[in-house]
Structure 1
């Protein structure tokens, strides 16, 4: 009997394409798609079908992947959650794992590798590719040594260089060749792990730590 999957992603075209790919896998079938965490919770209330696996995007409106996986851990701990995102930075991986994700993949993963990852998740209860495992083990070792695990990815460093300018977030997104939502995600992640609240705080941090552009 096929394992049931729900896809949570606010990009409908991506979600539907992913659904089509997975439905061709031997051991898995998608039973429905949700646009974000709140939409997933609403569907749980109205549907009698609770999936065995959830493929979860991180950057979503209303209720993002971090909040959603934590809610799932607290309310449906038997569901195996696989993060499937464009965000592969250290802080995103560590936060998703700490919040309850049992696997992590990037959206540019080949369909064959996705199927193998789902099989591993089904059989072993977890799946982390080698690059994600290195991030996790590095974090564990840092915590064992009493270090505060604050890691800033290259893209986050690039974002920090723009915080001291007068560019708007939309203009920063254009400079970084990404969406404004992605820039906002960099901002939120940095504020969270640096315990800051404003762009001014990020700019001061950038100046003090040599991240400002010369």
Structure 2
């Protein structure tokens, strides 16, 4: 069965062109196109068709990509958000990741690279091209200093190891032999200690600082 995709972009010609390109991918299909975040929310509420992946532009009227990504993270955490934008500056990349985006591509990406990115996003849970990874690791480079100044318990370290996997919080709880509520408390405590907001941010921290090994 093909993975379902929704495109959210206020430039209709670009959105329709993307829809046509993705239509040639064997493992993916676009189920609908939205013009902004508000339009997406309305579609999700009316049609109740929640896609596997959302390709999300950043600069949109009414409700932009940052706000939309944050809303999706809260209301549909199982849907993977891939930012697809003309904006490749450090602030945009980091803000989208902190708001829950699990991938980031520029709109000049070659169709073959787009297909590869979607496949990796689906199978691995996240995808960042090399240029975006450099921004992420450069920005989170301060995390090593944070680790030295913040006490991270052994159980929190164990939890960090699992943040980079596809395991749900319930499955992580099973691995750690504790309750899902306890796992959520580890997440909340670490987010507070490290000034992060999402599992993606925790995963980046875990990879950067060797907790994912």
Same fold (TM over 0.5): yes
Q: Choose 1 or 2 for highest CA Rg.
A: 1
Partners in 2 of 1:145 and 1:8 — Cα distance? 38
Alignment correspondent of 1:3 = 3
Alignment correspondent of 2:135 = 135
Alignment correspondent of 1:37 = 37
Partners in 2 of 1:144 and 1:74 — Cα distance? 28
Residues 24-50 of structure 1: CA deviation (Å, up to 9, x unaligned): 100000000000000000001110211
> What is the DSSP-based 3-state SS (H/G/I as helix, E as strand, rest coil) of the residue aligned with 1:50?
coil
Residues 71-124 of structure 1: CA deviation (Å, up to 9, x unaligned): 000000000000000000000000000000000000000000000000000100
Report the TM-score, using the length of structure 1 for normalisation: 0.67
Alignment: residue pair count: 146
Is 1:115 the equivalent of 2:115? yes
How much does 1:145 deviate? 3.2
How much does 1:144 deviate? 3.5
Partners in 1 of 2:45 and 2:67 — Cα distance? 18
Partners in 1 of 2:117 and 2:8 — Cα distance? 17
Alignment correspondent of 2:25 = 25
Cα RMSD (Å): 0.8
Is 1:16 the equivalent of 2:25? no
Residues 128-178 of structure 1: CA deviation (Å, up to 9, x unaligned): 0000001001111124436xxxxxxxxxxxxxxxxxxxxxxxxxxxxxxxx
Q: Identify unmatched segments of 5+ residues in structure 2.
A: 147-213
Partners in 2 of 1:132 and 1:43 — Cα distance? 30
Alignment correspondent of 2:61 = 61
Q: Identify unmatched segments of 5+ residues in structure 1.
A: 147-214
Report the TM-score, using the length of structure 2 for normalisation: 0.67
Is 1:81 the equivalent of 2:92? no
